[in-house]
Amino acid sequence: MRIIAGAQRGKRLASVGKGDAGAHLRPTTDRVRESLFNLLVNGGYGDPVTDARVLDLFAGTGALGLEALSRGAAFACFVDDGQAARALLRENIGLCAAQGSSKVFRRDATKLGDVQQPPFDLVFLDPPYGKGLGEKALIAAIAGGWLLPEALIVWEESTAPVPPATCDLLDQRRYGDTVLTILRYLGQGS
C-alpha cells in the first residue's frame, strides 16, 4: 500500500498483509483508491480535496485520509475504535509526517455524538462490508453536526447502499467487489 499522488507520492504505508478480518481491516487497494480520487477530481465536483476538512470514518490504516492530505487537504480526522487499526493508523500518520494536520478519535463511527470541532466537507466512509454500519455511521455524522451542507461523501461498500433522504446520489461505480458511491449532503433541513 502506498500514497498514489501529491506531496507524499510513492510513500509506502505500513502493511497489513491481506487484511485483518478480526479487526475488520480490509485496506482499499491502490487501484480502487486511485480510481476514487480520479473520480473526485475529474467528476465535475470542482476540487473537493484541496483545503478540505476530511472525515475518515472506519479509518483502518488511514490510507484514504492520508491520500487526501497528500493531495492538499487541510486536515483529516480519523475515526476508528479498533486497537489494531489505530496502531497502524498512528504508524502511517508518522510515516507521512501528518501529525500536525490530523487527529485520531477512538470512537465507534456509528455513535459519534455531537461534533466538537469545525464540521467536515469531505467524508470517506469505508465500513466493514455487509453489516449495515455505513448507514448507521452516516446517520450519526448527520445527527451530530459533523458534516457541512454540500459535503461530499465517498462510500465504499460491497453492494450499492441506499442514501438517506438528506443526501443526493451523484455517482456510483463498481470496481471488482467494491462499489464506490458518491453522495452530496444537502443539509439538515432537506
Q: pLDDT tens, 48-57?
A: 999 999 999 9
pLDDT at 7 over 90: no
> Grid coordinates in use for 82?
479498533
Tell me, what's the pLDDT at 9? Answer: 86
pTM above 0.75, yes or no: yes
Domains of the chain as residue ranges with CATH = 30-185 (3.40.50.150)
Instruction: Please report which confidence band the pLDDT of residue 137 belongs to, taking 50, 70 and 90 as the band edges.
Output: very high
Q: What's the helix, strand, coil split of the chain in %, to 5?
A: 25, 25, 45
Tell me, what's the pLDDT at 11? Answer: 87
Least confident of 25-29, 113-117, 176-180: 25-29
CA distances from 63 to 52, 89, 92, 142 (A): 16, 8, 8, 23
15: left (phi over 0), alpha (psi -120 to 50) or beta: beta
Average pLDDT over residues 84-97: 91
